[in-house]
């Protein structure tokens, strides 16, 4: 058994305690050195990374002088430590304690101490060697940086015919690069090269400089992977997305909750109808511009005061549809949120977005469209094909085309966007030039319909309109007096303290009612009567769905932007013949009566006829939840205005240019139809071309009217197939001359002089518009019963 005295035990403890921290220290030094070198060396080449400033190299290389100093200090520190340990070892070997214990504890027991010193010496040598190598790398980097700096100072504007605007844009940058901080954000510093780098890598007016990273400047061509959309039926997340803080948002959320059961039932029906068909899940931004503070948000304060709610009804239903169909949504009601979601750089909005647009579709309104244009720079033109504009009254092609509108007097405050006309989405199917978005009305079950039948008050009328200003209509006393002879009149006019003086004393005013109470009032009433305003709101459809007859005034002459203040400035020439043209044209009697209120006899006769007429609750399919889901699904999966903008005109395709015409004359008719012998598989048109019929209008008749006469609807997507001289010949039209011009009425023929005209600009293809000089070539198609927006094979 070996005995050890107390001094020996103390020595062992000292060694163990001393060696453990040194081991930790060695590991720490090694790890720190590795991290430092990775940071120092990696940073020298970071300017080659995608998205860095053009001037990163210069900045980081200048900063590496400090890095060399730190490496030298580390090496010196390790050498000092080695020397101190050698001194400590010599002192320790010279003590009596060491001499007395050598017999009991041989020196090889303490070889770890010697090994530790050797490792520290090796580390010090390695750090010294690394410092020298880093110094060489940094010197080379400085030389390369000076070379690049020299190139930057010597840039010349390239003369490349592929970039004709380059020199002009450089001139503009020289004069105005300080006008917006966003240019400095992207690295512009006033030098010629910084202009060219920006104009080639951020914008696209100049070629990429030869010494720049070509792959970094090139946009990625790989499309994002497509994900299958799945129906979403839990509304909790949607309601959370909508947020709160505005009365308008609270109204929308209440409506979505109220119609939740109806939406869920409709989603199951559509899912069965689609039979598992693949649906792409879209990334969608919804920006409700009219609710932003920057646009004034005049709607939110009026929600509780009887203001018009049509727009908010429609937006609530749009949110519900897009969510149920399974798409990923972002919802914004502020400019700051919009900028953040789009990736707008700091500044005044003259520069493109910092990143590619992360959304497949953007739903907004005219206010939001203006905000996007102000803050997206050139990116707005690049990505505007993804925008869908919720547009209550519609925008006709003549007003949408900026150059044409300016030259021919169609320019208004709301038009000239140069969008595809189908990108405008309306509340009612005003014109087939736009897409019909719509909204939904509450649907009744069998029990509710039976209750309405048994509880209708045959002598009860409700007036359409919640604002007192509606009751200021001139001449209302005469027809109200007639109505009061036969019916009890009820109103829902908002007031705060006292009854509005505009409402006659014989009218029973309930004040502003919650939606549920208003529905109950409609279920009791026989008649829902309009005073001529508001135009084309959702309330008449709700009344008809609850078993009311809607009585409205006929306008003579029709109201339009030419003769009525309300429509003045709106981007449409549409003539409105009544308060609710959709109800008049698409529903009609017995549910809708349109009469001249100035003709007392006609008005009184209508009241008597209505009282003796029994009607069932009625709701057009396109205003049911299923109808709207079906329609918007078809739009999202089939409308691609980015692809159509990039592709050449289909009328120049081999089939259309061949001697074999795709059209044949319909049997026992003067119309052309698509030939069954011509395959349409290589023409990815939507709607499918087999639904197309070509008709010649009468002089002075719009294509919308011409197609209606044949129980069809005009389809502007088909104009490109009939915009050819050969089509005139097939219709036996003699053309002494054929010209191609910009005119929203073309293609057409001036028959008296036998001159034929083709359309020069596809953005001007229009179903609307007429002139007594022309007979127009009209592309018509069939449609589903109750769903005018879709052809029979469109789904």
CA distance linking residue 694 with residue 749, whole number of Å: 14
CA distance linking residue 44 with residue 26, whole number of Å: 28
Q: Please state, in angstroms and as integers, the Cα–Cα distance from residue 377 to each residue in 180, 198, 351, following that order.
A: 11, 14, 5
Q: Please state, in angstroms and as integers, the Cα–Cα distance from residue 506 to each residue in 479, 486, 780, following that order.
A: 13, 13, 51
What pTM value is reported for the model? Answer: 0.80
User: What is the rounded average pLDDT of the residues 687-704?
Assistant: 95
> For residue 198, what pLDDT is reported?
96
Pairing of strands 775-781, 592-595: unpaired
Question: Does the pLDDT at position 18 exceed 60?
Answer: no
Domain boundaries, the chain: 165-210, 235-436, 446-618, 659-781
Nearest to 637 by CA among 590, 686, 571: 686
Q: Number of C-alpha atoms within 13 angstroms, CB side, residue 330?
A: 18
Partners of 489 in beta bridges: 461
**pLDDT tens-digit profile of 342-400?**
999 999 999 999 999 999 999 999 999 999 999 999 999 999 999 999 999 999 999 99
CA distance linking residue 430 with residue 704, whole number of Å: 10
Question: Does the pLDDT at position 693 exceed 70?
Answer: yes
Question: Does the pLDDT at position 650 exceed 60?
Answer: no
Tokens standing for residue 316: 């609530």
CA distance linking residue 482 with residue 601, whole number of Å: 10
CATH superfamily of this structure's domain 446-618: Glycogen Phosphorylase B; (3.40.50.2000)
Nearest to 715 by CA among 749, 691, 736: 691
Cis peptide bond N-terminal to 534, omega within 30? yes
User: What is the rounded average pLDDT of the residues 493-515?
Assistant: 90
Question: Does the pLDDT at position 89 exceed 80?
Answer: no
Phi, psi of 444 (to 5 degrees): -100, 145
Please, are residues 792 and 784 in contact by the beta-carbon 8 Å criterion?
Answer: yes
> In this structure, how many other beta carbons lie within 10 angstroms of the beta carbon of residue 185?
15
**pLDDT tens-digit profile of 721-771?**
999 999 999 999 999 999 999 999 999 999 888 899 999 999 999 999 999
Tokens standing for residue 269: 């029906």
CA distance linking residue 724 with residue 674, whole number of Å: 15
**pLDDT tens-digit profile of 467-483?**
888 898 888 899 999 99
CA distance linking residue 504 with residue 525, whole number of Å: 19
The answer for residues whose C-beta is within 8 angstroms of residue 152's C-beta and 6 or more apart is 54, 191, 193, 194
CA distance linking residue 249 with residue 552, whole number of Å: 31
Nearest to 25 by CA among 127, 119, 125, 130: 119
Please, are residues 544 and 452 in contact by the beta-carbon 8 Å criterion?
Answer: no
Question: Quick one: 183 exposed, middle or buried, by C-beta within 10 A (0-12, 13-18, 19+)?
Answer: buried
Question: Does the pLDDT at position 787 exceed 90?
Answer: yes
Q: What percent of the chain has pLDDT over 90?
A: 66
Tokens standing for residue 749: 């023929």
The answer for residues whose C-beta is within 8 angstroms of residue 609's C-beta and 6 or more apart is 593
Q: Which runs of E-coded beta strand occur in 660-711?
A: 663-665, 672-674, 692-696
CA distance linking residue 43 with residue 64, whole number of Å: 9
Tokens standing for residue 643: 């692809």
Biggest CA–CA distance in the chain, Å, is 136
Cis peptide bond N-terminal to 640, omega within 30? no
CA distance linking residue 727 with residue 695, whole number of Å: 11
CA distance linking residue 765 with residue 777, whole number of Å: 11
CA distance linking residue 480 with residue 142, whole number of Å: 90
> For residue 13, what pLDDT is reported?
47
Please, are residues 379 and 354 in contact by the beta-carbon 8 Å criterion?
Answer: no
> For residue 334, what pLDDT is reported?
96
> For residue 778, what pLDDT is reported?
98
Tokens standing for residue 634: 């078809």
């Amino acid at each position: 058994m070996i005995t050890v005295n107390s001094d020996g035990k103390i020595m062992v403890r000292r060694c163990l305690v001393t060696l453990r921290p040194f081991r930790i220290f060695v590991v720490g030094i090694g790890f720190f050195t590795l991290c430092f070198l990775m940071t120092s060396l990696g940073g020298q080449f970071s300017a080659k990374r995608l998205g860095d400033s053009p001037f990163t190299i210069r900045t980081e290389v200048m900063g590496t002088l400090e890095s060399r100093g730190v490496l030298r200090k580390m090496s010196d520190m390790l050498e000092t430590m080695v020397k101190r340990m050698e001194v400590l070892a010599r002192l320790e070997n010279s003590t009596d304690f060491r001499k007395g214990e050598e017999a009991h504890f041989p020196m090889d027991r303490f070889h770890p101490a010697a090994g530790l010193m050797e490792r520290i010496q090796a580390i010090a040598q390695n750090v010294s060697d690394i410092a020298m190598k880093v110094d060489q790398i940094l010197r080379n980097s400085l030389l390369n940086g000076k070379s690049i700096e020299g190139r930057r100072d010597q840039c010349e504007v390239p003369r490349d015919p592929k970039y004709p605007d380059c020199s002009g844009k450089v001139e503009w940058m020289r004069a105005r690069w300080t006008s917006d901080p966003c240019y400095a954000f992207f690295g512009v510093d006033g030098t010629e090269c910084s202009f060219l780098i920006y104009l080639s890598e951020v914008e696209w007016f100049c070629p990429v400089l030869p010494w720049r990273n070509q792959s970094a400047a090139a946009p990625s061509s790989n499309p994002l992977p497509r994900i299958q959309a799945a129906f979403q039926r839990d509304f909790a997340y949607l309601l959370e997305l909508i947020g709160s803080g505005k009365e308008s948002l609270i109204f929308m959320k209440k409506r979505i909750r109220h119609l939740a059961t109806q939406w869920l039932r409709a989603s199951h029906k559509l899912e069965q109808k689609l039979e598992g068909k693949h649906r792409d899940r879209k990334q969608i931004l919804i920006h409700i511009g009219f609710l932003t503070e920057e646009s004034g948000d005049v709607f939110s304060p009026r929600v509780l005061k009887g203001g018009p709610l049509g727009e908010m009804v429609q937006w609530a239903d749009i949110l519900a549809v897009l969510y149920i169909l399974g798409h990923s949504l972002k919802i914004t009601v502020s400019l700051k949120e919009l900028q953040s979601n789009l990736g707008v750089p700091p500044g005044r909005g003259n520069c493109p977005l910092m990143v590619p647009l992360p959304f497949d579709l953007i739903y907004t309104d005219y206010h939001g469209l203006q905000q996007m244009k102000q803050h997206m720079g050139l990116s707005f033109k690049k990505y505007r094909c993804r925008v869908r504009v919720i547009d209550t009254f519609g925008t006709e092609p003549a007003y949408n085309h900026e150059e044409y509108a300016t030259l021919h007097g169609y320019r208004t405050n709301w038009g000239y966007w140069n969008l595809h006309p189908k990108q405008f989405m309306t509340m009612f199917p005003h014109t087939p030039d736009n897409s019909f978005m719509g909204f939904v009305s509450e649907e009744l079950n069998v029990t509710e319909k039976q209750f309405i039948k048994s509880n209708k008050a045959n002598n009860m009328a409700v007036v359409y309109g919640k604002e007192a200003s509606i009751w200021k209509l001139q001449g209302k006393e005469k027809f109200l007096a007639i109505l009061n002879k036969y019916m009890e009149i009820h109103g829902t006019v908002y007031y705060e303290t006292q009854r509005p003086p505009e409402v006659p004393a014989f009218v029973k005013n309930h004040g502003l009612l919650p939606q549920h109470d208003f529905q109950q009032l409609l279920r009791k009433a026989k008649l829902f009567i309009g005073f001529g305003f508001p135009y084309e709101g959702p309330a008449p459809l709700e009344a008809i769905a609850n078993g009311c007859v809607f009585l409205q005034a006929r306008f003579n002459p029709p109201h339009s932007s030419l003769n009525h203040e309300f429509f003045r400035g709106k981007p449409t020439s549409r003539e409105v013949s009544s308060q609710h043209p959709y109800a008049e044209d698409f529903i009609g009697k017995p549910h809708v009566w349109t009469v001249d209120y100035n003709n007392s006899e006609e008005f009184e006769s209508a009241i008597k006829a209505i009282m003796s007429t029994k009607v069932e609750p009625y709701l057009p399919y396109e205003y049911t939840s299923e109808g709207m889901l079906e329609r918007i699904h078809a739009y999202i999966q089939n409308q691609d205005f980015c692809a159509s903008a990039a592709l050449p005109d289909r009328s120049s395709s081999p089939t259309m240019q061949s001697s074999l015409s795709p059209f044949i004359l319909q049997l026992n008719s003067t119309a052309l139809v698509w030939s069954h012998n011509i395959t349409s598989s290589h023409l990815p048109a939507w709607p499918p071309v087999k639904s197309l019929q070509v008709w010649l209008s009468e002089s002075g008749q719009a294509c919308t009217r011409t197609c209606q006469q044949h129980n069809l609807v005009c389809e502007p997507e088909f104009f490109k197939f009939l915009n050819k001289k050969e089509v005139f010949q097939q219709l036996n039209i003699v053309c002494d001359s054929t010209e191609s011009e910009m005119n929203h009425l073309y293609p057409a023929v001036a028959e008296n002089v036998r001159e034929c005209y083709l359309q020069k600009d596809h953005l001007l293809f229009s179903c609307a518009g007429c002139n007594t000089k022309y007979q127009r070539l009209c592309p018509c198609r069939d449609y589903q019963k109750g769903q005018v927006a879709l052809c029979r094979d469109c789904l």
